[in-house]
Amino acid sequence: MPLLFFYAVAFVCGIIVSSLLWRHEVGPPPKKGERFDGVSFPFSKRESLFEESDLGVYRTLQRELSKTFLIFPKVSLREIVELNRKTSREQFYLGLLNGRHIHFLLCDRKTYQPMLALQLVNDKDDEEHDLTYDVLNSANLPYIRLPRNKASSLNELSYLISHKLQSETRKSKEVNAQVL
On whether both 31 and 97 belong to a single domain, the answer is no
| 87-130 pLDDT tens trace | 888 889 889 899 899 999 999 999 999 999 998 887 665 555 67
On whether both 35 and 68 belong to a single domain, the answer is no
On whether both 147 and 98 belong to a single domain, the answer is yes
On whether both 63 and 29 belong to a single domain, the answer is no
On whether both 33 and 108 belong to a single domain, the answer is no
- Cα 78-161-140 angle, rounded to 5 deg: 40
On whether both 20 and 67 belong to a single domain, the answer is no
On whether both 87 and 19 belong to a single domain, the answer is no
157 neighbors 62 (Cβ within 8 angstroms): no
Residue 169's domain comprises 52-179
Q: How many CB atoms lie within 10 A of CB 111?
A: 9
* Total domains, the chain: 2
On whether both 17 and 56 belong to a single domain, the answer is no
CA distance 179 to 107: 26
On whether both 101 and 136 belong to a single domain, the answer is yes
CA distance 14 to 20: 10
68 neighbors 101 (Cβ within 8 angstroms): no
Domain of 66, CATH number, reads: 3.40.1350
User: pTM (2 decimals)?
Assistant: 0.69
Task: Report which secondary-structure segment, H or E, holds 33.
Answer: none
| 68-98 pLDDT tens trace | 899 999 999 999 999 888 888 888 988 989 9
Residues in the chain: 180
